Structure formats: structure tokens, C-alpha cells
Amino acid sequence: MDSKAEDRILLEETFYVLSKKSSVFKVRLTFKGLHLIKDSEQHFKEQIIPIKDIIGCQCLRSKRKTKNCTCQSLPRSDSLQVVEENSTDSDDSDTSAYLYIYAYIIQGNKETNKKRERTIITLRFRSFDRYEDNNKEAQRWRSVIKRLIKGEPLNNFTLNEFSLTHRHRETRRLLVLCNPKSGAGKGKQIFQQKIAPIINEAEIPYDLHMTKYANFARDFVRTHNLFQWTGIVVVGGDGIVFEAINGIFERYDWADVIKTIPLGVVPGGSGNGLARSIAHYASEPYLPAPTLPAALAAVRGTSEPMDLVRVETTSQILFSFLSVGWGLLSDIDIESERLRVLGGTRFTIWSIARLLGLRSYRGKLWYLPSDIPISKSNDKFASPINTGSTLELPAEVHLETEEGRPRVDSWYSAHSRRSAYFSTGGSSYQSTTDSKLGEGDVPNSKDKTRRMYGPASQLPSLTTSLPDDWKCMDGRFVMVHASYQTHLGEDCLFAPEAKLNDGRIWLLVVKYGASRTQLLQFLLGLSTGAHAINNNRSSGEYIKLIPVNAFRIEPDMTENGYITVDGEHVDYGPIQAEIFPELGRVMVP
């Protein structure tokens, strides 16, 4: 839209500030936002609230005063009490209609002090004698604001001839899957206090389901008719995200679901790598209100494609959104579990312990650099040298996973288990906890085996040799950790250059031989991303961050170790992974 069109005045009205009758404000609505203009003889002041920052608006009316109330007939803003327009508790003596506009406005101009503040703008319509006429005017504003928020077209009819029969109708409906056990058991509280109030302000209906056991979210997503919802919001850590994504790939209609129903991620766990990465990608302030970017994304309905990685082990196929790890970081992640009582400090203690008693693992790492497409590499794979595949995977693969695989805490973010400070009141929600199958549900809910669908692999099978243009490192490794997001956790900027949909896997390789000082520096650098600069310079020989399209790890099976996928512990053994650019879709503020 050109700037002239953006400035077109859609609606304009003069209002008085409730507390100071002499103060006049011109309020103007354009495609840019809501303009609050104070134009007096002394000065001209204009504040624009961008449409992007407005999440909703409601028409309300005055609440009937209690008998002993001595409030004036013109309510002051701080004494004003309002009710819904159809409430039986309304004050008939006040014929005004009130439009409440909810906005979350960026405050602060530096990256370090930027945060959003909740602001309510109240417009009182009282030009007419009858409430119905004032309400009609307020409804007209509401309808236009709602359309602007949703990016819907506006024509002269919607602007001028609005009538009550043309009120805004909400077509969206969200599914919320909340893990009450995530983080410090605060999942439910986070939803009720931080998310529900915002969804209610935006007047988006939702169905809330609390997860009842490990894999509940995965089973729910696999078995229900998801097309009754326009988005799925998960509240919890990366574990619940993993379940939701892999539940989608257990559906034969995964391709439709993944493209049309975006996933929203509200950080409520101890590992919130994806939520942090999404906020980083969108340049949204994350602290002090880490749940706010996700809530805003959910109500705005804005989403973007996200790369997913298809991971294959000898026993299962997984779709990963965050990481694959072998060695140091995975060891710390899993082994520090035994120090659980120490809370977040257990990771620090275990990191030091592991640096002192440094382990390394023998194996081979293969990778396909990001400038060689997998498909091109596979053309070469057709050469006779590389034939002899023992296991060709078809487009549909049926493999079984164990039930209830152990979930491990994420090392990367336990330090950042902070509470969110955004305060919202008056939480209310509709909730359905009945998870029985309904009309349109996928009828394989009782099937205990896991059937993985999803795009077919473009790689040679795990037991087959790789094409010549793959690079190979053979030796001892302190760790190999791959990520496709910037952050592995709230405090771990692992791959500073990564984007949600850059079509790359960022492979961090630490070879045996790096000194303890280099390793310590590397671990400390993870919180700020300094390792990506420092280690490529000073320790480049041992520590490398390499963008790739695919990789394979073949650990020496005479040794023991840990391998994790998105923080989930998988069997120790050969593993390969390939990027599927833009396969998923996530809500982005």
C-alpha cells in the first residue's frame, strides 16, 4: 500500500478526555493505525498506535451503580465500571457506548530496554440521546478496527452504512494444548494468567485441553479432526512442541494440516528454545514477558513457514524442529538429571564436572555442505559405487517407537527459568477436557503402534554409503550438535545466523584436542553467541560451526553415549538428518 493510501482517513471523531473536560482529542483511524491527536492553540501532539499493536476492541456500556454509590453522572476514567452491551446490569441513565481498544505498545528504544506495555484506549460515544445510536457508532469503529487487525478489505459500505446486522464475525478458533506439569508445574497458571486474558481481549474462541500424561498431546493431535481449529497453541516446553509436531506426522493428512494449521508456542517449560527463537526471529522483546510474543502471535493469526528436519535412526523416524545432539551437551543434559534437586545450578555443576573429566567419542561424522542440494548430491549417488542399499524407505514408513520415551530437561535454559511479569486480570476461559473422538476425528486413536507419514527421505538409507560430495570427519569428538534455530534454550544463542526458514542445519563440531580453556570459553560463549565468532577464529581447528543440508553420525558402537533429538533421548547408534525447508508453519508475532 502506498503512503497516500495508508494515510487515508477511514474514521474520525472528536473526544474529550474523561477527567479533564477541556482537553480535546481528535481520534483518527487510518490503515497505519489509531491516531490520537491533541491540537490546541498551545501545541500539536500526535501519537499513532500501529494496527499491528492493537489486538482487539470491545463495545461496553456503563454498569449500574450500587445504591450507596455517589459517583458523578460523568464517570471519571478511574471510577468507570463497564459491562457487556447486553448485560442486565447496565446503567440506563448513561446512554454512552464505550469502545475499549486493547493495544500492546513497544516502549523503550534500545534493544536492551525494549518491552511491550498493555494499554487500553477508551472511547466514549455519547453524541446521540439513545444508547442504541451511540452503540451503533461504537460498533462501526469496532468493526473497522477488527477488519484492519485481520487485514480484511474495507469498502465504503463497511465504513458508512454499517448496521448491527453487519457486525464483525470471528471465523477463527484455537486449540490450546497445555502441559500443566511443564516447567515448575506452572503451565496451567501461565495459560490462565498470561494467555487467556489476551485471547479474550481479542475475542477469539478456543478449546483448552490439559495434557493428562506423556504423549497426550501427540495422541490428541494424531486422532482429532484438527480442521475445526485455525491454529494449535501449545503451552509448555520443547517437549510438548515435539509431541504436537510428531503427532501431525502420524496423520495421513499431515501435508494439509502442517500447511494450513499453524502451531503457536507459549514458553512454559524448562526448555523453551523454539519460543525464544521465534521471538528472536521476529525481533520481539522476550523478557520480561516471555509469553507475550506467543500470545500476540496467536491472536494476530500471523504465521510463517519453518524448516523441519527429518531424523532417522535405526529404530525410528522423527520430525525435529530444534536439534540433534551427540556428546558433551547431550551428556550434560541427560546426566545432570540425577542432580535434579539442585534446580538450574545442576547444569553448571555438571558442566564443570564434565569439563574436568572430559569424555570424547569415536565415530564418523558425514555432512553435506549447505551449498550442495540434497537432490543434486543424490544424482551422483546413482553411480555404481554407491549402490547396494539394503533398506530403501518408501514414501510411507511404518516404524514403531517405544511408548513414553524419557524426556530430559534442557540444559540450555534451566538458568533462565524466570517468571513472566505481564499482569492481566479477569481471566476466564471456556474449556473442554473431554478428549473422546468427535465427528471428523482420525479413527486410529486406539492403534498403539506409531505410523510415521511425512515427506520421503531424499537421503540414501542409513545403512548405505553416501555420495562423494559428502564431507567426512573421522576421529574422536567432544561433541556434534546440530540446530536449525538460533536458540537451543532461553539463554543459549547457539546459531546466531540461523533463521526460522533459512533451509540450513547449523552443525557445531567440537573435535577432540580442544584445550579445556577453549572448551570453557566455548561453553561460556553459548549464552551470547560469542562462541560462533571466537571459536571460528581462535579454535577453528577444533571447533567449527558449519551450515549443512544433511548429516549422518556413525558412533563407534563399542562405546556408550547419548544422542538426543529436540532434547528427547533416542537410542545410541547411527543417526542421519536432512532439512526440509519450510515444511512446518509456526505463529510469529
Window 237-266: contact mask with ligand ATP (x via CB under 6 A): xxxx--x-----------------------
Least CB distance to ligand ATP at residue 186 (A)? 9
Least CB distance to ligand ATP at residue 185 (A)? 9
Least CB distance to ligand ATP at residue 390 (A)? 33
The answer to whether residues 509 and 536 touch, using CB atoms and an 8 Å cutoff, is no
Which is closer to ligand ATP, CB of 201 or CB of 238?
238
Which of the ranges 24-32, 132-140, 230-238, 369-377 carries the binding residues for ligand ATP, by CB under 6 A?
230-238
Least CB distance to ligand ATP at residue 272 (A)? 7
Candidates 33, 56, 197, 236: give the one binding ligand ATP (CB under 6 A): 236
Instruction: Quickly count helices (H) and strands (E) in the chain.
Output: 15, 24
Tell me the residue type at 314.
Answer: T
Nearest residue to 555 (alpha-carbon basis) of 442, 494, 475:
475
**At 347, which helix (H) or strand (E)?**
helix 345-356
Candidates 197, 269, 293, 460: give the one binding ligand ATP (CB under 6 A): 269
The answer to whether residues 8 and 19 touch, using CB atoms and an 8 Å cutoff, is no
Radius of gyration in angstroms for the set of CA atoms belonging to the chain, rounded to a whole number: 27
Kindly determine how many residues on this chain lie close enough to bind ligand ATP according to the rule CB under 6 A. Answer: 23
Long-range contacts of 66-74 (CB under 8 A, 24+ apart): 74/18, 74/21
Based on the shown chain and the rule CB under 6 A, indicate whether residue 323 belongs to the binding site for ligand ATP: no
Which is closer to ligand ATP, CB of 80 or CB of 329?
329
User: For 218, left (φ over 0), alpha (ψ -120 to 50), or beta?
Assistant: alpha
Distance CA 467, CA 461 (A): 12
Mind spelling out the 3-state secondary structure of 463-530?
Answer: CCCCCCCCEEEEEEEEEEEEECCCEEECCEECCCCCCCCCCCEEEEEEECCCCHHHHHHHHHHCCCCH
Which is closer to ligand ATP, CB of 240 or CB of 318?
240
Least CB distance to ligand ATP at residue 567 (A)? 6
Which is closer to ligand ATP, CB of 270 or CB of 336?
270
CB atoms within 10 A of CB 274: 28
Candidates 56, 271, 325, 555: give the one binding ligand ATP (CB under 6 A): 271
Choose the catalytic residue: 53, 238, 307, 333. Answer: 238
The answer to whether residues 235 and 179 touch, using CB atoms and an 8 Å cutoff, is yes
Alpha carbon separation from 547 to 241, 533, 577 (Å, rounded):
24, 14, 13
Least CB distance to ligand ATP at residue 237 (A)? 2
Which is closer to ligand ATP, CB of 44 or CB of 213?
213
Q: DSSP per residue over 297-342, as a string? A: HHHHT-EEEEEEEEEEESS-EEEESSEEEEEHHHHHHHHGGGGGGG
Nearest residue to 459 (alpha-carbon basis) of 310, 248, 281, 327:
310
Residues numbered 154-213 forming contacts with ligand ATP, rule: CB under 6 A:
179-183, 211-213
CB atoms within 10 A of CB 419: 13
Least CB distance to ligand ATP at residue 275 (A)? 11
For the four alpha carbons of 588, 458, 569 and 528, in that order, the dihedral sign comes to negative
Based on the shown chain and the rule CB under 6 A, indicate whether residue 320 belongs to the binding site for ligand ATP: no
Residues numbered 115-144 forming contacts with ligand ATP, rule: CB under 6 A:
none
Residues numbered 364-423 forming contacts with ligand ATP, rule: CB under 6 A:
407-409
Based on the shown chain and the rule CB under 6 A, indicate whether residue 216 belongs to the binding site for ligand ATP: yes
Which is closer to ligand ATP, CB of 53 or CB of 243?
243
The residue nearest ligand ATP at its CB is 237
Least CB distance to ligand ATP at residue 177 (A)? 9
Q: Please give the backbone phi and psi of residue 553, each rounded to the nearest 5 degrees, phi first.
A: -115, 130
- Angle at which helix 516-525 crosses helix 530-537, to 10 degrees, equals 150
Which is closer to ligand ATP, CB of 94 or CB of 491?
491
Least CB distance to ligand ATP at residue 180 (A)? 6
Strand, helix or coil at 19? coil
Distance CA 324, CA 331 (A): 12
Which is closer to ligand ATP, CB of 157 or CB of 213?
213
The answer to whether residues 343 and 496 touch, using CB atoms and an 8 Å cutoff, is no
Window 486-525: contact mask with ligand ATP (x via CB under 6 A): ----------------------------------------
Which is closer to ligand ATP, CB of 274 or CB of 519?
274
Which is closer to ligand ATP, CB of 95 or CB of 270?
270
256 as an active site residue: the answer is no
Least CB distance to ligand ATP at residue 156 (A)? 49
Any idea which residue has 511425512 for its cell? 454
What cell does 519 get? Answer: 572448551
Candidates 58, 90, 134, 215: give the one binding ligand ATP (CB under 6 A): 215
Residue 6's Cβ-count burial label (10 Å; 0-12, 13-18, 19+) is exposed
Tell me the residue type at 99.
Answer: L
Which of the ranges 40-48, 54-62, 235-243, 285-293 carries the binding residues for ligand ATP, by CB under 6 A?
235-243
Least CB distance to ligand ATP at residue 348 (A)? 16
The 10 Å CB-count burial string (b at 16+, else e) for 363-398 is bebbbbbbebebeebbeebeeeebeeeeeebeeeee
Strand, helix or coil at 235? strand
Which is closer to ligand ATP, CB of 264 or CB of 269?
269
Just list the catalytic residues: 238
Which residues of the chain form contacts with ligand ATP (CB under 6 A)? 179-183, 211-216, 236-240, 243, 269-271, 407-409
